[in-house]
Amino acid sequence: MAAAALSESNDHPPPGAVELREDVPLQGGGEGRAGCAGPRLIAAAFAALSVAVALALLTQIYYGDYEVVPHGSVSASVPACSSCGAHVLRAGGGALDAAVAAALCLAAAAPHRLAALDASGSLLYWDYRREHEAAPTLAEWGAAGAAGAGGAAGEDPAVRAWDTDPARPPRLLAALAALHAQLGLLPWSRLLQPAIDYAESVGTNAPTSVTEAPGGGAAPELCAVWRCAALLRAGPAPSLPAPGWRAYSGTAAAPALRLALARPGPGPRPGPGPALSAGLLAGGAGGARTAVATGLAVADPRGAYVALVTAGAGGWRRDPAGPALDLAPALIADQLVCGSRYVIGAGSSAALADTARALAAGASPAAAVEAARSPAGGAGGAGGAPEAAVNVVLQRGDALAAHADSRAGGLAARF
């Protein structure tokens, strides 16, 4: 009887007693389990935290500081045109799409810099991440880089026939349509609309207004009618000999850029230097005609770059015979895969040379663009025309920096 009582007392200890048997944690049920945070509550808390972190990151990407989360940049001589290009990049467009939108905007916004729909042009395109070992593509049209483009001996007969056709389309529009058919990502109408909106907002009545440009159809369809292939002179851009750099430029600006990179300045903000100035004034720019051109620079999130410079006689007139127009787009990269890469759209070869020399010496884009230039570098067109302006985009690793020349009143745009 006493043994039975003892056994019963061991099976059911009095209230408050501590169980020391090994099988107690394995027994189900029991009081106090309702207050325990089970796995479902832990998983829900973790999911809520993940959602909060994701929302914070998305907010930072779309609304945060550009220096923290850089995606793409457009630098043009008119702030509204930089914004047009940046909006195209945000909508999923590539570097060529943004350059088309910005160039068409400049045709409506900068007639004083000969940015017209019938302008000649020089464009460099480089898909760096996919083909960083390959040369960029150089595309030129009109009198850019072709000594015979105005009608001298040696001109391509197909180009001459196209250019003298009274029913031909404007050169800039046809060239951009041809390039868009090969490299564009967004519909042609999407790229033309920002320029139309800008032209209508400022009420421009210029005869070469972008509002008169055809907006329907895709670029391949337009080029089938316009015979765009007969206009473009395109191929791999020749590499310029520059120690420590991979440098490419338009045909007219190549001699000046080669000279500049061969003589970089010693300080962080070097002056033009008498030797460089003398070389440019003595014909280092290749004898190109002085003109006030309009340039822009683009870098997109996919690692593609575009440098574009346009100029011309204005209206639907043919460029006069003689040397090539002084159009100076450039792409400069150091030898490291994730090193510095500069996209430059300059209004003259001499201005490009001064800027490239400063950049090669370590100056920031803002310091290089805004620095005092040699007489050749600062000279614009004759008769009180604006000075040659430079637009630069720099990508170093994942960091972006851009600057538009205050001489033109430009402002770079990023997102």
Query: What's the token pair of residue 331?
Result: 């792409």
Bigger pLDDT: 303 or 111? 303
Cα–Cα distances (Å) from 311 to 113, 114, 203, 236, 388, in that order, read 7, 5, 23, 22, 12
Q: What is the pLDDT of residue 142?
A: 81
pTM exceeding the 0.85 threshold for the entire prediction: no
Cα–Cα distances (Å) from 178 to 226, 230, 246, in that order, read 9, 10, 27
- Could you state, in order of their start, the residue ranges of all structural domains in the chain? 70-414
Q: What is the pLDDT of residue 390?
A: 95
Using an 8 Å Cβ cutoff, are 84 and 197 in contact?
no
CA end-to-end span of the chain, whole Å?
A: 88
Least confident range of 193-197, 258-262, 330-334, 377-381 = 377-381
Query: What's the token pair of residue 263?
Result: 């003589």
What does the alpha-carbon distance between residue 107 and residue 81 come to, in Å, rounded to a whole number?
Answer: 10
Is pLDDT above 80 for 29?
A: no
Using an 8 Å Cβ cutoff, are 288 and 381 in contact?
no
State which amino acid sits at residue 410. Answer: G
Is pLDDT above 70 for 268?
A: no
Q: Which of 171, 162, 51, 54 is nearest to 120 (CA)?
A: 171
Rg (CA), the chain: 31
